[in-house]
Structure 1
Amino acid sequence: MIHPTALVDPAARLADDVEVGPFSVIGPDVTIGAGSVIGPHVVVKGPTTLGERTRIFQFASVGEDCQDKKYAGEPTRLVMGDDNVIREGATLHRGTVQDRGETTIGSRNLFMAYVHVGHDCVVGDDCILANQVTLAGHVTVGNFAILGGLAAVHQFCHFGDYAMAGGGSIITKDTPAYVMINGNPAEARGLNLVGLKRRGFSREAINALTASYKLVYRQGLTVEQALAEMRRQFPIPEVTHFADSIERSTRGITR
């Protein structure tokens, strides 16, 4: 299961059925779960934990030291869940002691070719990051989020659950849950209606979210007024989640 040209440190912990391709390097303090396939010319450095059925394609670098100039070799971590796919040339870095000390990635995510996930990022479950998406350090991405190719997210930004960014978007503010953005600088373009329908949101929830979006973006209200009004008019979990994602923004929302 391990190619003879691969270099696997004796201290690495690999499940019995993990495959490692030619010329790959697996360092110490690396744990790789069952059913995982590490392709050729891959580097995995620790401390890093990869869940079950991880698939990493050639030339990816996972768990490497981060690029933060303050990083001084501290033993920070990268922790990933199950069923993640990391395509060619992607780079996923560990955390820093100045923040969480850990880059955390959930399960069932697709990182397409040349994606970069910076230090201390948090990525949820079931996300798609298309080719050459770049997450700066300290970025949080929610569940079921989609970032189009070449999108770039500024450090400390939050990108909400079920949100979508068009290709080439430059994202410098927080993106609320369910919202679709695009442009340089990115601007809100509406709700991610196609995504909500595909994920089985009810007509009632979609209608309430549409009306809530209009309160925030179309009615000339302050954010505080819009939040109060949507909570009053639409006391359902989906709208509450939308309002919460706006309320906790620290950088201001994409408008």
Structure 2
Amino acid sequence: TAEPPAVHAGLGHQVGTLAARHLRLILADPGYALFLLLVPVVLAVLALAVPGHEGLRRSVPEHPAEAAQMLVLVFVGAAFMGAAASAREAIAERAIFLRERAVGLRPGAYALAKTLVFTLVAAVQSAVLVGVVTTVKPGPADAVLLSRPVAELAVAVWLTALASCLLSLLGSALVRSLEQTTPVLVVTVMAQLVLCGGMIPVAGRPVLAQLSWFAPARWGYAAGASTVDLPQTGPADRLWTHDWPWWLGSTGALLLSAAACTALFAVRAVRVRRG
């Protein structure tokens, strides 16, 4: 069993120790590590089910919704794989966390360590997801800020997966049992499917538009739509504008969401008690 962080260890030392331990646990479980890698591959291969051959380029009249449907698959998929990675994390480790906090572990260090590890996990999964998607179908043609459109898409997918992962991590700290994590995961992912803006228009709709601000898939889809220059056939959504300030605004909202979830998770860790 790994030794808990020392009472007098600094914040940075505790973060490094906890993050390294978490990574070792992932690598020591080949089944779990394989699961993390296979999820984005399966999600990406599903892109073949979308009718058409233009992928994330300009849609043709025969398949006008191809790019929009693929973006829904990619960004709701990113939200799912991020949420699934952390859905049981905090509740499963609650007893260990309480024991280590009793000997000096700082809740902030615990939160930051989890964020660092899941940032790496989300980056790897997103690279696999975007890599396979743009292999089976063409990727976007033009970027709005970065030099390569596929890289720009990958950044948006990564931040969506990360924000969803940290939101799910916060949820796992709020539930009281492992059994409660599955309903929370399902409801969270389904809500993001509805609120992303790709299936049901949310721009300009009272209540629905405001609720969508809290869904990472909404901002991720907007960033992806901005990169792809997605045609707008329904109510205008300014977040989809093919220009760098809009893409930057959407990715900035994802970073803000991730930071807020980390902060709230740390606050929850301070208040958690043995149940």
State whether TM-score is above 0.5.
Answer: no
TM-score by length of 2: 0.22
Between 1 and 2, higher relative CO (CA 8 Å, sep ≥ 6) is seen in 2
Higher strand share: 1
Higher helix share: 2
